[in-house]
Structure 1
């Protein structure tokens, strides 16, 4: 995870949708090209959900994250050779150059991709791969409505640029093609969210990630107002079935960049 926003990440709340969040990481792992010799870096490892899968590559796996709570859970997986708490934007490879830098659902929290991503690619071993997956959902109602309602209810209180941001696919293509072999794609997952006794399932899913900086800028009463307004919209846009479950389309962008051997 990226640097904590006002409060540390809550591993329990985040893990509520662990299976849905893990599937894109596994899809990214399956898309990897052959790797050279060298360790694996799980950059923004969070609670270590992808760690056991990365360990199957048969390499030393190092985890980097800013959240002490998440790192505590990652440590319990027992698959990381080492775990380091730091701002992932400032991470620099030490020791053997990594064969793989794996960035699952984390780089969208960091700015200046036009500088950051080439810097990460430059740390790879010859023939190494940078593998990235980011949500590409900002224009969907599940995400857009958080910002529009916050601006309507609390004008000027929320900075729309403080949340997750990614470049357009064409921009990544122009940026990364000169650096090596690029594979770039998107997948829309139709996720079934289970019924929640404590709110609309889409609200519970998005408030643990996208909506964190929005809610962190408000006091408790303001959060309650915003959540009530958001849920009223979600009831119409993502209606629940008779059993309370919701079918939730969620788009993600992937790329692998393999530098020359």
Structure 2
């Protein structure tokens, strides 16, 4: 699911296994996203691709939304693709970097539906990437994007603050998330290229059993990965995780039953090429 540069430790740390711990919660946004794709009754979705398909949970949702389509998946993680192939052995999955996939030759296949669920936030230069993805659409095709929009949430802010502390500051100085933009920016970027652009933001509130440990486990499958990958030893990673857990316990107090309510804002975009 990550781009190649951030994915060097995927096989070692079992990212696919970590990611699917919260599969129901992670799948709900893609279900909501695909429900908003305006497929007209007379429109045939012949080809559809899930870029950043991960372990295939989003690909399964794509198949349900476009049951007559030839569906495929693309991911930069071999570990994720192994999980996707095990889940959906009848489909074709390709190991590829999404940025490189988006600029393939002009005679490459055009798609009626491109799904990018919780992946493009890992990639830089959205002002170039998004128009390239639109160019991979057939006329009337749809680009459906969902990205976490939570960099200002405590879970992310605390990661950055702890990474700036001793003894990790020097090692983690170069770890930063790619720049993201608001709904207005993406609308202005896509509207000149598309016949229709729909942009919205939703905050999910996920009840996680297990107190602060559950929150840490959630982000070990996503936001923590670049930080942990940049640390040089298991001891460093364990110390960093313990420090993060302390901060999370204060920021996300559990209810008496041990449940933590995790607010999670997400940005959705559905763009239809004219």
Write out per-residue CA displacement over residues 178-232 of structure 1, whole angstroms, 9 at most, x where no aligned residue: 1111100000001011216xx6211111121111001111132222222222111
Does residue 6 (structure 1) correspond to residue 8 (structure 2)? The answer is: yes
What is aligned with 1:82?
92
Q: Report the CA distance between 1:131 and its aligned residue.
A: 0.4
Q: Report the CA distance between 1:79 and its aligned residue.
A: 6.3
Q: Is the 8 A contact 2:85 2:91 kept in 1?
A: no
Paired residue for 2:26, among 21, 25, 32? 21
In structure 2, relative to structure 1, the CA distance for the partners of 1:23 and 1:110 (3 Å cut) is same
Q: Report the CA distance between 1:10 and its aligned residue.
A: 1.7
Q: Report the CA distance between 1:80 and its aligned residue.
A: 5.2
Does residue 112 (structure 1) correspond to residue 115 (structure 2)? The answer is: no
Structure 2: where are the runs of 5+ without partners?
none
CA distance in 1, matches of 2:151, 2:45: 37
What is aligned with 2:81?
71
More strand by share: 2
Q: Is the 8 A contact 1:11 1:70 kept in 2?
A: yes
Name the SS of the counterpart of 1:242 in structure 2: coil
What is aligned with 1:55?
63
Write out per-residue CA displacement over residues 134-184 of structure 1, whole angstroms, 9 at most, x where no aligned residue: 000011101110111111122232246633542222211211111111100
Q: How does 1:154-233 map to 2 (within 5 A)?
A: 154-159=168-173, 162-180=176-194, 181-195=196-210, 200-218=213-231, 219-233=233-247
CA distance in 1, matches of 2:145, 2:265: 14
Paired residue for 2:136, among 104, 111, 123? 123
CA RMSD of superposed structures (Å)? 1.8
Q: Report the CA distance between 1:50 and its aligned residue.
A: 1.5
Does residue 39 (structure 1) correspond to residue 47 (structure 2)? The answer is: yes
Structure 1: where are the runs of 5+ without partners?
none
In structure 2, relative to structure 1, the CA distance for the partners of 1:167 and 1:18 (3 Å cut) is same
CA distance in 2, matches of 1:132, 1:204: 25
In structure 2, relative to structure 1, the CA distance for the partners of 1:159 and 1:103 (3 Å cut) is farther
Name the SS of the counterpart of 1:125 in structure 2: strand
Name the SS of the counterpart of 1:167 in structure 2: coil
Q: Is the 8 A contact 1:192 1:245 kept in 2?
A: yes
Q: Is the 8 A contact 2:175 2:226 kept in 1?
A: no
In structure 2, relative to structure 1, the CA distance for the partners of 1:155 and 1:161 (3 Å cut) is closer
Q: Report the CA distance between 1:241 and its aligned residue.
A: 2.0
